[in-house]
Amino acid sequence: MPEVAVVSDTTAYLPRDTVAHEGIHLVSLYVNYGSDRTEPELEMPDFNAFYDELRSVEELPTTSQPSVGDFVAVYGPLLDRGLSVVSIHISGGLSGTCHSARQAAETLRRDGRGGERVRVIDSETTAGGLGLLVVGAARRARGGDAAEEIVERVAEARSELKMWFAVDTLEYLKRSGRVGAASAWIGSTLKVKPILTVENEIAPVERVRTGARAFERMVDYARQREASGADGWTVQHIQAPEEAERLTERCREIFSTEPAFVSELGPVIGVHAGPGLIGVGAVPSRYLA
């Protein structure tokens, strides 16, 4: 029986069946629609209604991290069962989620409920990159690894992880204030398709002129990953299922394996990236074993 429980947050956007199969515990981030409506991302049955609304609103919704109480509610029962916890989350450069997690662990420690057995990891990424780290950690936990072994394994995996996203426009990042190091591209007279990554914060990779070229660059990145020995891969999208399926088929040819998972990004990331995103990333498959 595992001695370690793996906790993450909803911004990994792991398929629900993957979460259940791997025994992953999730804490939800929130979407805020003005001052009178807040919705946990974890409780959304799908994201279509959100993106339909996002395309037409003048003022973007905001997002917020889980509360300390949210983490206590997840950690507490796991610690009460005698388990240790490895808790892996969205980059601290994008969210205060790790801060809430650490506060919750300290609260449980002070209360004598075993909070010292919680290890919080800032993944310095999000979305598919975070998901790959979490799946790998969960499999190691199920295999009987101790918490410190899993923490070390996640750090090794993170050093070899790459994830790229092609977004349809920088407009949503600009409006949400999360454009980060890609701010130099704002105001360009060229209609470009930005390609971005997350290395603690959102970082620019390159600009291409068309959606077709952005798609082919995703394929190129997949080839680079495979050539470097990173053969555990994922594809993600926002309201672009056909493009994601085409990219998945191309990646199957490149990697000669099935993806770790394919999924759609939800509102907490989607409000900043906007519809039309496609992304691909990979890590050596030994970190998923």
Q: Is 35 inside a domain boundary?
A: no
Q: Is 228 inside a domain boundary?
A: yes
Q: Is 90 inside a domain boundary?
A: yes
Task: Tell me the pLDDT tens digit for each residue of 88-134.
Answer: 999 999 999 999 999 999 999 999 999 999 999 999 999 999 999 99
For residues 112 and 214, state if they share a domain: no
pLDDT at 189: 41
Q: What angle do CA 86, 163, 161 make, to 5 degrees?
A: 50
Q: Residues 55, 171: contact at Cβ < 8 Å?
A: no
* H or E element, residue 136: helix 127-142
Range of the domain at 112: 4-28+65-159
For residues 143 and 227, state if they share a domain: no
How far is it, in rounded angstroms, from Cα 204 to Cα 111?
44
Q: Is 55 inside a domain boundary?
A: no
Exposed/middle/buried for residue 190 (C-beta within 10 Å: 0-12, 13-18, 19+): exposed
Look at the pTM and tell me if it is higher than 0.85.
Answer: yes
Q: Is 59 inside a domain boundary?
A: no
For residues 13 and 154, state if they share a domain: yes
For residues 137 and 265, state if they share a domain: no
Q: What is the pLDDT along the chain (289 residues), one digit of tens a residue?
A: 679 999 999 999 999 999 999 999 999 999 998 778 899 999 998 999 999 989 888 888 999 999 999 999 999 999 999 999 999 999 999 999 999 999 999 999 999 999 999 999 999 999 999 999 999 999 999 999 999 999 999 999 999 999 999 999 878 877 755 555 445 554 454 567 889 999 888 888 998 989 999 999 999 999 999 999 999 999 999 999 999 999 999 999 999 999 999 999 999 999 989 999 999 999 999 999 9
